[in-house]
Amino acid sequence: MFPDAGPDDPTVTAMRARELGRKSVVVGDRVSLVGDISGAPGALARIVRIAERRSVLRRTAEDDATTAEGRLERVVVANADQLVIVSALADPPPRTGFIDRCLVAAYDADIEPLLCLTKADLAGPEAVLGYYTELELPYVLIRPDSDLAALRALLAGRVSVLVGHSGVGKSTLVNRLVPEADRAVGTVSAIGRGRHTSTSAVALRLPPQPDADGDPGWIIDTPGVRSFGLAHVSAESLLHGFPDLVEATVDCPANCQHTAEEADCALDAWVASGKADPRRLASYRRLLASRSGEGDPREPERNPGDPLAGS
């Protein structure tokens, strides 16, 4: 990826040089090229160096590192500044369990999160925003008639990677931001699941806006996912995705595992005193349990009466 590339710069086709060995090249990598970089038909350059990555966003298929899927660590994107978590407010309904997973991955990768709530014409954001009220999580609401000015301002000058369940309107949003992207758009099935439309991650240069100076930024569109496995994140780092709970752990006994079975875990008293939403503690403990193989992160998990608990 070329952070200084302009809209009129050619698209260069390149292959990884043999001397790089097994070192992988992922979307977002800064690379050095040799050979024909004219972008002419049939031209081919070689990637001879991959610059050190500023950040790496990872995920696994499962949470449990003892399984083959949990050990298979996938680099989603390199050098991103911002993780844009795209969630619909309806059709399909929002799943804060999935958003919580993305927040953990973002904080672990030292990437700033941004919550992008689509289909705001179908439902209000109060339930979702109330769930995250203690985090002061930045967010933007998107309707079909939105002019996207607020979102563009948050994307300007940054490399932002978009993640979300299939069917939440991510590809539609990308096409509105970059009309020439022509990302495939799908529909939501009768059972509330979106159909996968994007099949590979792609970096797209945002077009400059009239009367706007500076770098408009890049977005990286990723395929729709059903889960965001966190086997690569340590149990200690998992708590960083729940900053509203961190302070309570100061009063926990040494080596506290923070599970419901820990009789002296201070998290229960913290929530009982109204200092955090009990659903946040339940979500954190579900993630802890799934790391032990006690749950399947690929299937939505819901608490009775809580429409936002799906993962």
Rounded Cα gap, residues 183 and 263, in angstroms: 51
**DSSP 8-state symbol, 248:** G
Joined together, the tokens standing for residue 302 give: 């819901």
The CB density around residue 58, as the number of other CB atoms within 10 Å, is 18
Those residues whose C-beta lies under 8 Å from the C-beta of residue 274, and which sit 6 or more positions away, are none
Q: By three-state DSSP, how is residue 77 classified? A: strand
The CB density around residue 91, as the number of other CB atoms within 10 Å, is 16
pLDDT at site 183: 55
β-partners of residue 57 are 77
Distances (CA, A) of 309 to 61, 98, 279: 20, 9, 8
pLDDT at site 210: 79
Rounded Cα gap, residues 4 and 307, in angstroms: 44
**pLDDT band at residue 2 using 50, 70 and 90 as cut-offs:** low
pLDDT at site 187: 42
The answer to whether the beta carbons of residues 95 and 310 sit under 8 Å apart is yes
pLDDT at site 199: 52
- On the question of pLDDT at 127 being above 60, the answer is yes
The answer to whether the beta carbons of residues 196 and 20 sit under 8 Å apart is no
Closest CA to 297 of 277, 308, 311: 311
The CB density around residue 94, as the number of other CB atoms within 10 Å, is 25
**pLDDT band at residue 303 using 50, 70 and 90 as cut-offs:** very low
Mean of the per-residue pLDDT values of the chain = 85
Rounded mean pLDDT, 46-66: 89
- On the question of pLDDT at 241 being above 80, the answer is yes
CA–centroid distance for 34 within its chain:
33
Distances (CA, A) of 63 to 7, 78, 273, 292, 295: 40, 21, 31, 8, 9
- On the question of pLDDT at 55 being above 90, the answer is yes
- On the question of pLDDT at 305 being above 60, the answer is no
Lowest mean pLDDT across 118-127, 170-179, 231-240: 231-240
Alpha-helix runs per DSSP H in 64-210: 68-71, 96-108, 126-131, 149-155, 170-177
Q: For 235, list phi and psi in degrees, rounded to 5.
A: -60, -35
Report which of residues 182 and 209 the model is more confident about: 209
- On the question of pLDDT at 257 being above 50, the answer is yes
Rounded mean pLDDT, 81-92: 96
pLDDT at site 308: 67
**pLDDT band at residue 250 using 50, 70 and 90 as cut-offs:** very high
- On the question of pLDDT at 188 being above 70, the answer is no
Q: By three-state DSSP, how is residue 76 classified? A: strand
Rounded mean pLDDT, 15-26: 88
CA–centroid distance for 278 within its chain:
24
- 14-28, 58-72, 136-150, 168-182: range with highest mean pLDDT: 136-150
Half-sphere exposure of 155 (CA within 13 A, CB side): 28
- On the question of pLDDT at 172 being above 50, the answer is yes
- On the question of pLDDT at 304 being above 70, the answer is no
Rounded Cα gap, residues 260 and 178, in angstroms: 47
The answer to whether the beta carbons of residues 47 and 61 sit under 8 Å apart is no
Joined together, the tokens standing for residue 214 give: 């500076």
Question: 242-255: string of b/e by CB count within 10 Å (b at 16+)?
Answer: bebbeebbeebeee
The CB density around residue 305, as the number of other CB atoms within 10 Å, is 6
Rounded mean pLDDT, 117-141: 95
Closest CA to 266 of 289, 241, 257: 257
